[in-house]
Amino acid sequence: MRKINWIIACCILMSSHLFGQQVQKSTYGDVLLKNATIVTVTNGTIEGDLLIKDGVIAEVGSSLSANDATEIDCSGKFIYPGFIDGGTQLGLIEISSVSLTRDSDELGDYTPHMQALTAVNPNAVAIPVTRVNGVTTVFSKPTGDLFPGTGAVIDLHGYTPDQMYAGSKAVLMNYPSTGKRGRWDRRSEEDIKKDSEKALKKLKDFWAQAEIYAKINQTGGEYNPQLAAMVPVMKGDSPLMIEVNKKTDILNALAWVNKKGIKAVFTGVAEGWRVADSLAKYNIPVITGPVLRVPSRTSDKYDVSYTNPAKMLEAGVKVAIRTDETENVRNLPFNAGFAAAYGMGVEEALKAITIVPAEIFGIADKYGSIEKGKVANLFVCDGDPFETKTQIQHLFIRGWNVPMESRHTLLYDEFLERDPGIKE
Amino acid sequence: MNIMVMKNIYLLFISLFISSVLSAQNDGDVLIKNGTVITITDGVKENTDVLIRNGKIEQIGEGIEVGDIKTIDAEGLFVMPGIIDAHSHIALDVVNEATNPVTAEVFVGDGLDPYDVGIYRALAGGVTISHAMHGSANAIGGQCETIKHRYGEIDPEAIRMDGAPRTIKFALGENPMRVHGERSNIAPATRMGMEQIFRNAFEEGKAYIKAKKDFASGNAELAPLYNTRSEVMADILKGDIIIHCHSYRADEIYMLLKVLEDYGVKRICFQHVNEGFKVAPELAAYGAHASVFSDWWAYKFEVYYSTAYNAAILAENGVVTSINSDSGELIRHLYHEAAKTQRYGSLSDNEALKLITLNPAIQLGIEDRVGSLEKGKDGDIAIFKNHPLSIYAIPQMTIVDGVVRFDINEDNYDMRLDVDPDETIPTFFETESHSHHGEGDRCMQDVYEFLNHKH
């Protein structure tokens, strides 16, 4: 009898692999997290309980009880809101060197109508790998030329893009950059100048068309998908996400945005520290990162990338942090940790990957902190989640109790003590 | 005098000034007081001093007093051995001789660049030694150079680590297959072809040794024609050169183990070795080493089935394992990369720190001189605020042979040693993320330029 039990147990354990599942299924239901240190981000840190019901945070308080809720004792543990990465290609690229698995970069200079949400693969292997590090929500964005497309904020759980969609999209623009782009850039100074003038002219022409289109669209006209995608930006309903990194480009982009009178968010902003006061003056929010990158110029101080978020924040800029990664979006808390160590402080760095990106994406009513009524995106861990060695023990996305499994943990389980080992 | 010339002279003065600051106090005498000393081989010692004289550790203990010596107050700070990177491409003019599947004769040490600001950035991350490697375009690439980060010295000879064993780069899998098979239509185009490239090259080396012996013993009338490639292959067979092999998949790693076994070659360190965890018992049994990324994966197909737990699995299975950078970015925070083995695995602090100190030293054959804080070893030291495995660790000072090469309090804004006087538009380096290019690692530097020019 015992043997049969064993066989049944083994079958259950192996079933996920037999059916080709990537990880175990998540479970849904009311959960009561007891006796935790709850880092709310927006209302300080409290000792108490947290009730998850119907996918949202139903209650935060002390001595909570709930019938039928699964209770998890969190004594000595911490609850944090799920981290939000303000810029990734997660779900759009599976293996970056295999071009047919790369869905982030459509052909053409003006493709704002390309929807990241269409190409997000809910079963991307990197998604479980990312979320078990506490990153529950990301902005997944196309990359490419002048107007690469429309990015979408997604939760890292669900089987269709619609199940993952977190209610915010944004059109992206790459501000025409000047200067040499790296050691491989062999263009002459004259060519560099010409190229940037050409790009600016392209921008000017397309913008003029988009302005007219947004006007005549009221009265009817021929449908143009590129220009139609720009309408919410032209009307100021949606911010334009402008990727811009170099000092002079940032200043030019500031002047441009000011002239156009649109809502804008700057992304990348590697040299934001050089023009932090201007960014603050024009009240432009920033999604910066990666923090873990080499300085942009060989003449730069070695730590300019680490201190960049702190310097912008200090000047009064609203700063969110991103990884701009695909398979290693899981390093978001470490990017924030470096920013914290190099001047930003733990509290502000935590905001930069929770409530601040939620505000920038216009979803702060549902995301970015532990508050009653917000989406139950949160995790339980045994220490400071920026600290490299901290272990995350429970993960909830939209109230789903998500298994702490990914390809990486499954391979660990299988190979730590391989069987058969060295002997046949 | 026009403005341009004035500017050039000014820049020249700046660079001379920086180099004179950096190379001041070249005597290599320093006393580090009252630190928390992480020795790696003899535990962690609180409130302990480290005395370095003539570039060597003379004494480790409490209350060391010597008169008239540069003294560093390390109270509240962590003092550890200088970090060693077993895989980098900094300080190199060129990385790949991508013209033939076998180029054992070339040597990256012929093109060392002591001016590379990447050396300074590595120092600012506590790294004192790196293994400047040939790239991975060829099955048998060039010989590599172990360098000391003596930034401020402008003679290329001054950054070599004299006496470090010779090493050579091998490479398996996609890179050599792509460069030679796919683009030039010559073997290797497959992992089968890879095996035969190695067997042929070792056979040539064997034949060369035999021909020399035959001549020496009078069994042959003529000595073999001198051939630099065969000389190197012969030296590998004799055990004089350590192989460092770029590799990813378990099958190709296993293949090379069998080839090496057939030719009696013992000294092998697999590099990257993302699927090393799948053959960890075999690697341990052979005595092969592994130098891995902490968490890079999925940037190409051969690293799709990998895990960030690789280092932990290898270490737990008894493989001498290190964490490397292969990147001018990662080399700046290898202490953080090592800490990831505590998130992805459960290595102790000392085991994790070994991955960036003693273990890479073993892999480079320099463990008798560096990699731990012991009397008689080189005075290579990294000093941190906060524990080096903490995310809040900040390197404060990096010492090479008793000479301070990085000091956070003396850090000037622009630390370049040479400034291009013709540069009017400074180059702005966009993010060098492996995922954005597809070639994965710096190992393929120079190859694409080469291939693109060809097409």
DSSP labels, A186-198: ---HHHHHHHHHH
* Rounded CA separation A164/A402 (Å): 14
B65: closest CA of chain A, how far (Å)? 34
Give CATH for domain A83-366.
3.20.20.140
CB contact (8 A) between residue B429 and residue A295: yes
Q: Residues A189-213: what's their mean pLDDT?
A: 92
Cβ pair B129, B146 in contact under 8 A: yes
Confidence at residue A15, expressed as pLDDT on a 0 to 100 scale: 46
Three-state SS across chain B? CCHHHHHHHHHHHHHHHHHHHHCCCCCCCEEEEEEEEECCCCCEEEEEEEEEECCEEEEEECCCCCCCCCEEECCCEEEEECEEEEEECCCECCCCCCCCCECCCCEHHHHECCCCHHHHHHHCCCEEEEEECCCCCCCEEEEEEEEECCECECCHHHHECCCCCEEEEEECCHHHHHHHHHHHCCCCCCHHHHHHHHHHHHHHHHHHHHHHHHHHCCCCCCCCCCCHHHHHHHHHHCCCEEEEEEECCHHHHHHHHHHHHHCCCCCEEEEECCCHHHHHHHHHHHCCEEEECCCCCCCCHHHCCCCCCHHHHHHHCCCCEEECCCCCCHHHHHHHHHHHHHHCCCCCHHHHHHCCCHHHHHHHCCCCCCCCCCCCCECCEEEEECCCCCCCCEEEEEEECCEEEEECCCCCCCCCCCCCCCCCCCCCCCCCCHHHCCCCCHHHCCHHHHHHHHC
CB contact (8 A) between residue A301 and residue B432: no
B214: closest CA of chain A, how far (Å)? 40
Confidence at residue A38, expressed as pLDDT on a 0 to 100 scale: 98
CA-wise closest residue to A199 among A106, A109, A105, A265: A109
Locate the domains of chain A by residue range: 21-82+368-424, 83-366
Residue B231 inside a domain? The answer is yes
Q: Which residues of A touch B277 (CB under 8 A)?
A: 411, 415
Q: Which of A304, A411, A423 should one mutate to test binding to chain B, selecting the residue with the greatest count of B CBs within 10 A? A: A411
Same domain (yes/no): B36, B168: no
CA-wise closest residue to B343 among B362, B328, B323: B323
Which ipTM was obtained for this model?
0.94
Amino acid at B401: D
Residue B31, beta-bridge partner list? B51, B71
Give the pairing of strands A135-140 and A70-73: unpaired
Q: Residues A323-328: what's their mean pLDDT?
A: 97
pLDDT band for position A116 (cuts 50, 70, 90): very high
Residue of A nearest to B118 (CA): A298
* Rounded CA separation B102/A261 (Å): 60
- Per-residue pLDDT for A8 more than 70? no
CA-wise closest residue to B270 among B242, B298, B238: B242
Cβ pair B338, B294 in contact under 8 A: yes
Same domain (yes/no): B13, B31: yes
Cβ pair B268, B275 in contact under 8 A: no
Each residue's pLDDT, cut to its tens digit, for chain B (455 residues) gives: 455 555 555 555 555 555 444 544 568 999 999 999 999 999 999 999 999 999 999 999 999 999 899 999 999 999 999 999 999 999 998 899 999 999 999 999 999 999 999 999 999 999 999 999 999 999 999 999 999 999 999 999 999 999 999 999 999 999 999 999 999 999 999 999 999 999 999 999 999 999 999 999 999 999 999 999 999 999 999 999 999 999 999 999 999 999 999 999 999 999 999 999 999 999 999 999 999 999 999 999 999 999 999 999 999 999 999 999 999 999 999 999 999 999 999 999 999 999 999 999 999 999 999 999 999 999 999 999 999 999 999 999 999 999 999 999 999 889 999 887 777 666 777 654 444 333 445 677 766 544 443 33
Q: Is B204 on the interface with A (CB under 8 A)?
A: no
Q: Which of A97, A135, A326, A409 should one mutate to test binding to chain B, selecting the residue with the greatest count of B CBs within 10 A? A: A97
* Rounded CA separation A395/A80 (Å): 10
Q: What does the pLDDT look like over A22-31, one tens digit per residue? A: 799 999 999 9
Residue B434 inside a domain? The answer is no
Residue A365, beta-bridge partner list? none
Q: Supply B50's token pair.
A: 């480290």
Residue of A nearest to B313 (CA): A416
Peptide bond into A420 cis (omega under 30): yes
Determine how many CB atoms are found less than 10 A away from the CB of residue A421: 13
Q: Is B207 left (phi over 0), alpha (psi -120 to 50) or beta?
A: alpha
Same domain (yes/no): B382, B244: no
Same domain (yes/no): B257, B397: no
Q: Is the dihedral of CA B244, B246, B250, B254 positive or negative?
A: negative
pLDDT band for position A177 (cuts 50, 70, 90): confident
Confidence at residue B352, expressed as pLDDT on a 0 to 100 scale: 98
Residue of A nearest to B312 (CA): A416
Number of A/B CB contacts below 8 angstroms equals 194
Q: Which residues of A touch B308 (CB under 8 A)?
A: 408
Same domain (yes/no): B253, B397: no
CB contact (8 A) between residue A245 and residue B278: no
* Rounded CA separation B249/B175 (Å): 12
Residue A296: phi and psi, rounded to 5, are -70, -25
Residue B386: phi and psi, rounded to 5, are 70, 155
A325 → closest Cβ in B390, B430, B435: B435
Residue B71, beta-bridge partner list? B31
Peptide bond into A290 cis (omega under 30): yes
* Rounded CA separation B274/B290 (Å): 9
Residue B289, beta-bridge partner list? B269
A235 to each of A150, A232, B181, how far by Cα in Å?
A: 16, 5, 54
Lowest mean pLDDT among A29-33, A234-238, A406-410: A234-238
CA A289 and chain centroid, separation: 11
Helix (H, G, I), strand (E, B) or coil at A268: strand
Q: Which residues of B touch A324 (CB under 8 A)?
A: 431, 433
Same domain (yes/no): B247, B389: no
A131: closest CA of chain B, how far (Å)? 14
Q: Measured between alpha carbons, how far apart are the two ends of chain B, in Å?
A: 46
Residue written as tokens 């695995």? B345
| Full residue range of the structural domain in which residue B28 is found | 1-81+372-422
Confidence at residue B20, expressed as pLDDT on a 0 to 100 scale: 46
Cβ pair B110, B145 in contact under 8 A: no
Confidence at residue B26, expressed as pLDDT on a 0 to 100 scale: 61
Confidence at residue B413, expressed as pLDDT on a 0 to 100 scale: 86
Residue B338 inside a domain? The answer is yes
Instruction: Provide the angle, in degrees to the nearest 10, between the axes of the packed helices A189-219 and A225-234.
Output: 80
CB contact (8 A) between residue A411 and residue B433: no
Residue A139, beta-bridge partner list? A153
Residue B429 inside a domain? The answer is no
Core vs surface per residue B403-421: b (16+ CB within 10 A) or e: bbbbbeeeeeeebbbbbee
Same domain (yes/no): B45, B70: yes
CATH number at B233 reads 3.20.20.140
Q: Supply B380's token pair.
A: 């290579």
Q: Which of B149, B427, B446, B447 should one mutate to test binding to chain A, selecting the residue with the greatest count of A CBs within 10 A? A: B427
Q: Is B333 on the interface with A (CB under 8 A)?
A: yes
* Rounded CA separation A89/B435 (Å): 10
Confidence at residue A1, expressed as pLDDT on a 0 to 100 scale: 43
CATH number at B414 reads 2.30.40.10
CATH architecture of A21-82+368-424: Roll (2.30)
Residue B290, beta-bridge partner list? B270, B321
Residue of A nearest to B341 (CA): A389
Residue written as tokens 């392209």? A202
Q: Supply A371's token pair.
A: 């508050």
- Per-residue pLDDT for A373 more than 60? yes
Residue B435 inside a domain? The answer is no
Count of domains for chain B: 2
Same domain (yes/no): B172, B56: no
Cβ pair A209, A227 in contact under 8 A: yes
Same domain (yes/no): B322, B359: yes
Q: Which are the contacts of B129, defined by CB distance < 8 A and separation ≥ 6? A: B82, B83, B84, B85, B146, B147, B148, B149, B161, B361, B364, B366, B370, B380
Same domain (yes/no): B237, B274: yes
Same domain (yes/no): B123, B42: no
Same domain (yes/no): B53, B153: no
